[in-house]
Copies of this chain bind each other. A is one copy, B any other.
Amino acid sequence: MSRPRLITEDDLLARLARVFSEVGFEGASLSLLAKATGLQKASLYHRFPGGKTQMAEEVLATTGAWLEAHILNPLRGPGTPAERLAIVASNLDAFYQGGARACLLNMLSSPRIEDGPFASAIRTAFAALITALADLAVETGVSPEPARARAERAVMLLQGSLVLSRGTGSTGPFRAFLSALPEEILGTTPSMA
């Protein structure tokens, strides 16, 4: 007979994700992770026998699922392309808390661990995001190659805006990205309606 869970699976992973996205993999000590989740280190090891690495992997998997549900799926419709991008922008805004939170994909990327345990998941996430954005552009009549270039640009702007928002201590860059997103993908200034 086991004790009742002190924290739900979702909440646990969300809190771990927050720590990893704030301080990166190396910076996320077990004491920090324990404090953030309210669990003791041994309890975390019971749930994640693989330790920190497994925690980061599951957090990345969760992030991949979030990406699928809140970004990729909305991008595929229904609604007009502009409407879908508005949903995506709104979801990104909530996810990154207006630019105050860093991106896990950035914080878990390390040139040292190029072939490490996270590289594959990160590559997959970026590729899926770029493809989905490019597909939307194609849908509005843009040719495949420029569509892909626009999508890559948009992802660069997303990541760069988060870096710049963090580095300058202002959420301005991220908000600028959000409002520029539709034009970046569709190539037109969205209507004021």
A residues with CB within 8 A of B? 22-27, 100-103, 105-106, 109-112, 114, 119, 122-123, 126-127, 149, 152-153, 155-161, 163-164, 166-169, 172-173, 176-177, 180
Name the residue on B nearest A19 (C-beta). Answer: B112
**A177 to B25 CA separation, bound complex (whole angstroms):** 28
Most buried by B among A24, A114, A163: A163
**A127 to B112 CA separation, bound complex (whole angstroms):** 29
Name the residue on B nearest A158 (C-beta). Answer: B160
Pick from B152, B172, B173: contact of A176, CB below 8 A: B152
**A149 to B172 CA separation, bound complex (whole angstroms):** 11
A143 to chain B, nearest CB (A): 17
**A165 to B167 CA separation, bound complex (whole angstroms):** 19
Which 6 A-B pairs have CB atoms at the shortest separation, nearest pair first?
A160-B160, A156-B160, A26-B27, A159-B160, A159-B163, A26-B26
**A126 to B160 CA separation, bound complex (whole angstroms):** 12
16 more contacts with CB within 8 A, not counting A23-B110, A24-B27, A153-B157, are: A22-B110, A23-B26, A24-B24, A24-B110, A26-B26, A105-B163, A109-B167, A111-B166, A119-B169, A126-B164, A126-B168, A127-B168, A153-B180, A156-B161, A158-B160, A163-B163
